[in-house]
Structure 1
C-alpha cells in the first residue's frame, strides 16, 4: 500500500485525517463494497485538552439518536382558509363594506379612513383598514394589516 504525499500544512494540522480515520487501502472497481465502518466502531473520544466540555461530547451519540428517531407533527398554515382581503367590497358604501368584513371575520377591528390618510406602518393581524373616497364608497381593496 502506498501513501500519497500530503501538503505540509495538512501534516501539521491537529485534525488531519490520519488522526480521525484509520488508513484504508484503495479500492478498485472490481472490489466488493463493504459498508462496515470500522472507524466508528473503534471511536474514542479525544482528550479533554481538545474538548472544553467532555460530558457534552460523551452524551452526543445518545442526543443525536434522540433527534434522528424523533418524529414531530408539523402544522402547516399555508392552507389556512382565513380571509385576508375583500376585493368584493370595493365600490360599496363604507357601512356595507364594514358589515361584510365583520360577517367574514368577526374578530377583526375595522377602521374606516379617507383615502390619503396618514396611518402607521405597523402590521396588525386583527385590523382591517377601509379607505373611502369623498362619496363614501370603498376606494381600495380592504386587507388585513
Structure 2
C-alpha cells in the first residue's frame, strides 16, 4: 500500500490575522505564501472538505473581520 505524504511549502497558518479585515488578510497570506490562494468565506457558509495545500479559507464574520485562524487546507 503506498504511503501518502502531504507536503506544504511556505507558511501554513496565520493566527496573527484573527481580528483583521478579510481583504487585508487575503493580501497578507498570498504575499507571505505565493503558493496559496486565499479565499474569503462568510460566517455560516459551507465549504468543500477536501484538503488542498494550495488553499486557505479566510473565515470572516458579518463585519468582514477574520474570526478563525486561517490555515492551509
TM-score of the superposed pair, with normalisation by structure 2: 0.83
Aligned residue in 2 for 1:89:
17
Once superposed, what is the RMSD of the aligned Cα atoms?
A: 1.5
Q: Distance in 2 between matches of 1:144 and 1:120?
A: 13
Higher RCO by CA contacts (8 Å cutoff, separation 6 or greater): 2
Segments of 5+ residues of structure 1 without an aligned counterpart are: 1-79
Q: Which has the higher helix share?
A: 1
Q: Distance in 1 between matches of 2:31 and 2:17?
A: 12
Task: Say which of 58, 61, 64 aligns to 1:130.
Answer: 58
| Residue correspondence of structure 1 range 37-52 to structure 2 within 5 A | none
Aligned residue in 1 for 2:39:
111
Shift of 1:81: 7.2
Question: May I ask how many residue pairs the two structures share in their alignment?
Answer: 66
CA deviation vs aligned residue, 1:77-116 (integer Å, no higher than 9, x gap):
xxx8721100011100011101110111012111101112
Q: Who wins on radius of gyration, i.e. which is larger?
A: 1
TM-score of the superposed pair, with normalisation by structure 1: 0.43
Q: Distance in 2 between matches of 1:128 and 1:116?
A: 17
Q: Distance in 2 between matches of 1:95 and 1:122?
A: 23
